[in-house]
Amino acid sequence: MSGLLIFPILLPMAGGAAAILVKSNPRASLLLALTGAGLHALASGLLLYHVHLNGILATQIGNWPAPFGITLVADHLSAVLVMITAIVNLAVTSYSKADIDAALIDRGHYPLLQMLVCGICGAFLTGDIFNLYVWFEVMLMASFGLLVLGQSKSQLYGGVKYVVINLLATLLFLTAIGLLYGLTGTLNLADLHMKVPLIANRGLLEAVAILFLAAFGIKAALFPLFFWLPAAYHTPPVAVSAIFSGLLTKVGIYALIRVFTLVFTFDMSYFYSLLLVMAALTMITGVLGAAAQNEFRRILSFHIISQVGYMAMGLALQTRLALAGTIFYLVHHIIVKANLFLVSGVVQRLQGSFELAQLGGLYRSNGKIAVLFFIPAFSLAGFPPLSGFWAKMILIRASLDIHQYGLAFVAAVVGLLTVYSMTKIWAEVFWKPAPPANHFTDAMMRRKTSTWMLAPITALALLTIIIGFGAEFVFKFAEQAAEELSHPQYYVHAVLGKR
């Protein structure tokens, strides 16, 4: 059983190590990465299946009994996120074949990609808060490398900002872990759930909670802490920005959900009011920021921020339905957002630019791409029956249920403004006649697309449609995950045994 939990971490780690050996050979690199991604998807699928059938799965690494050793745990939330990570990894690995040139492969694109996936899955599966910090670092180091691999000016400048702010977030996280350990004497998340309510010094505990909020808020790009994201995400190759956009901020959201449903479970109403305000402002600033941009990937980057706001909103509402909405949103968003970045890469391939002003006429010249953009874009904006509609509807419904009318209003308006941004891209890139060729869009810059690019985009678009039409199944799953989150005793029982 324990193998199920270890393989989603071990496979990309081994794949990453092996990929270093063959990095000078693009063909072998790709073969190895594809095999690794395929096996990883298989292992994640098995884990998800097992968790769905048998409930929360936990294992103690090295057989050290629970609060002393390192625990790996998979509940519904972890398992589904690992599965989606594997799907995005597979898509991005395939896309890299066409997007990443031999020079970047030689510098280590595939090893870094695999290590990034390893760090992300480790963060999703660990049951130990210090171990979570370690996986965050694995993930960060790999993402630093991927971001600046091309070493262009814009990448280095974006990289400096990204590295600086993320390091500070990690240090805040480490401080919070240190203080929490000083208060409770344990690092195991399940054990923390038992020990934290016994702490008499409530004030100090709340200060630690706020430190966690700040640290994860930076990772997740919540309202006053998001400025690093649009500064960096448009600079790396498309394959890299796709996996970043899909997964990195969501690890922050996952950590927020985990820590605030499992560890800080005592009544902190002012804290959740703060999170509500942050979530609303995140949605609004993100979508307004996007409205002001005229570059394909910058628009999409700002939309990551506004979408993260929706997920934080679900956590802040604290009801089971709202948590289910957040989980639905996570599943929907990761697939859709990664796909949109991949589409932006195809458009850049065909027309040589990310600037909306220099693009146009794709609806006429390449209708297939138009359809492939339309599906994720209008899913993101929340058109029925695509996946985004259900995700938004559950969250708005959850906020109406507990009379948070203001928040429901904000969520609905931000959805409308998302439509504005998506129609802007649609009108500029697809409907507008193609602009006369200039030195940016001359024939040299235009390259052909390949099946390696279109296949993952089509697959992810299909997945969006499947989630949209199979919404009831996904929602039931999300409800089950939310049920586990709102009753931490299941988690504690799986890790510590009977108490």
**Which spans of this chain sit near other proteins (rule: CB under 8 A)?**
101, 103-104, 130, 134, 137, 140-141, 144-145, 148, 150-157, 159-160, 163-164, 167-168, 171, 174-175, 177-179, 181-183, 234-237, 440
What tokens were used for 473?
A: 């199944």
Tell me whether residue 4 or residue 187 sits nearer to other proteins (CB atom).
187
Tell me whether residue 41 or residue 196 sits nearer to other proteins (CB atom).
196
What is the smallest separation between the CB atom of 189 and other proteins, expressed in angstroms? 16
Instruction: Identify residue 173 by its one-letter amino acid code.
Output: F
Tell me whether residue 18 or residue 177 sits nearer to other proteins (CB atom).
177
What is the smallest separation between the CB atom of 171 and other proteins, expressed in angstroms? 6
Q: Phi and psi of 299, rounded to 5°?
A: -60, -50
What is the smallest separation between the CB atom of 235 and other proteins, expressed in angstroms? 6
Tell me whether residue 358 or residue 399 sits nearer to other proteins (CB atom).
358
Annotate 143-177 with DSSP letters as a single string. HHHHHHTT--HHHHHHHHHHHHHHHHHHHHHHHHH
Non-local (6+) Cβ contacts of 115 within 8 A are: 12, 13, 16, 138, 141, 142
The Cα 128–Cα 292 span in angstroms is 41
Tell me whether residue 295 or residue 483 sits nearer to other proteins (CB atom).
295
Beta carbons of 213 and 323 less than 8 angstroms apart:
no
What is the smallest separation between the CB atom of 470 and other proteins, expressed in angstroms? 36
Annotate 249-297 with DSSP letters as a single string. HHHHHHHHHHHHHHT--S--HHHHHHHHHHHHHHHHHHHHHHHT--BHH
Beta carbons of 193 and 262 less than 8 angstroms apart:
yes
Tell me whether residue 23 or residue 40 sits nearer to other proteins (CB atom).
23
What is the smallest separation between the CB atom of 101 and other proteins, expressed in angstroms? 7
Residue 432: left if φ>0, alpha if ψ -120 to 50, beta else—which one? Answer: beta
The Cα 202–Cα 267 span in angstroms is 11
What is the smallest separation between the CB atom of 216 and other proteins, expressed in angstroms? 17
What is the smallest separation between the CB atom of 284 and other proteins, expressed in angstroms? 26
Instruction: Identify residue 110 by its one-letter amino acid code.
Output: Y
The Cα 77–Cα 81 span in angstroms is 6
Tell me whether residue 168 or residue 465 sits nearer to other proteins (CB atom).
168
434: helix, strand or coil = coil
